[in-house]
Amino acid sequence: MTQPRILSFTRSWKFSSPGESKVAILFFYSCTFLWGYPTYLFWIMPLSLNTLWNAHATFLLGNALMWFLFLKASMMNPGLLPQHTDEYYQAIRQVDYLNYWEEGKILLPRLCHECHLVKPLRAKHCRIINRCVSGFDHYCPFIYNSVGYRNRPYFVGFLTTMCLNSVVGIYLCWNWFNVMGRSIFIGIGFLFLSVIATTSAMMTSLCVYMAAVNLTTAECFKTTKYAYLLDHQGKFFNPFDRGIILNFMEFLHTIKPLTEEELKKAELTLV
């Protein structure tokens, strides 16, 4: 039976699975645009623009940069892989003839039966957007997009500038208290910014750490799930770690990731 449209709409906006729910994104951006920026423009700015012009300049430039990075991370292709590839159908035709322990064990986990493709190393199927994404990191409801190889630097830049802007915002609120005294209205803003600053600082630190060691979020939290992150004894081993400088260069797309052939040459276990 078809769901009534209103019920379907409510479920899709409020009660869908955590990754699909739009409640977090709606709450966050409503607070920011309907309350945060008006408070800044009409209360904070008139009070301290002349005395703390450098803090205001940092805040305004930081916000412009943050929304640019947000739009890039949110709207760009995160690394969607082509669907219905010949390679997949060829592999499917060969499945019956594979020796499971030698070839099937390697090939079968790499087949995506949703997208009909053979997943490259580090690609994963995102169940929210229902597509395989190259270098899949995670799905982020706040940018309403998957984070993958292509948009990951923009996503981390968005988090970093969000943290910076929150810290400057906290400083401007603190200045308000010193000049004007207590205010519940500014106090709530102070608390909101403190939560955002703490959360974004923790997430930025984690993302920078993962970039430094060349792991994605998906890999970092499930190291034993992926066979390509295990050595011959079954212990964790990261074949992508090229040292901190090269890892950051790869993260920023100034050098290309190692190909599977290059990794194989290094006699590494790939699945």
> Which residues would be at the binding site for Zn ion (CB under 5 A)?
112, 114-115, 125, 132
The smaller minimum CB distance to Zn ion, of residues 56 and 124, is found at: 124
Tokens of 152: 């990951």
- Closest CB 154 distance from Zn ion, rounded Å: 23
Question: Closest separation between CB of residue 83 and Zn ion, Å?
Answer: 8
Q: Closest CB to Zn ion among 116 and 242?
A: 116
Amino acid at 142: F
**81 contacts: CB under 8 Å, gap ≥ 6:** 115, 117, 119, 120, 123, 131, 132, 133, 134
Which residues, including other chains, have CB under 8 Å from residue 161's CB and lie 6 or more apart? 62, 63, 65, 66, 69
Closest CA to 66 of 156, 172, 146, 192: 156
Nearer to Zn ion, 112 or 159 (CB): 112
Inter-residue contact 139 to 146 (CB < 8 Å)? yes
> Smaller CB distance to Zn ion: residue 85 or 194?
85
How many C-beta neighbours within 10 Å does residue 42 have? 9
Our CB check for Zn ion shows the closer of 115 and 164 to be 115
Residue 55 CB-density burial (10 A; 0-12 exposed, 13-18 middle, 19+ buried): middle
Residue 133 φ/ψ, nearest 5 degrees: -120, 130
Q: Which two tokens stand for residue 184?
A: 């519940």
Q: Work out how close the CB of 114 gets to Zn ion at its nearest, in angstroms, rounded to a whole number.
A: 4
Q: How far is the CB of 115 from Zn ion (least distance, A)?
A: 3
Q: Which is nearer to Zn ion, 47 or 111 (CB)?
A: 111
Q: How far is the CB of 205 from Zn ion (least distance, A)?
A: 31
Supply the minimum distance, in Å, between the C-beta of residue 128 and Zn ion: 12
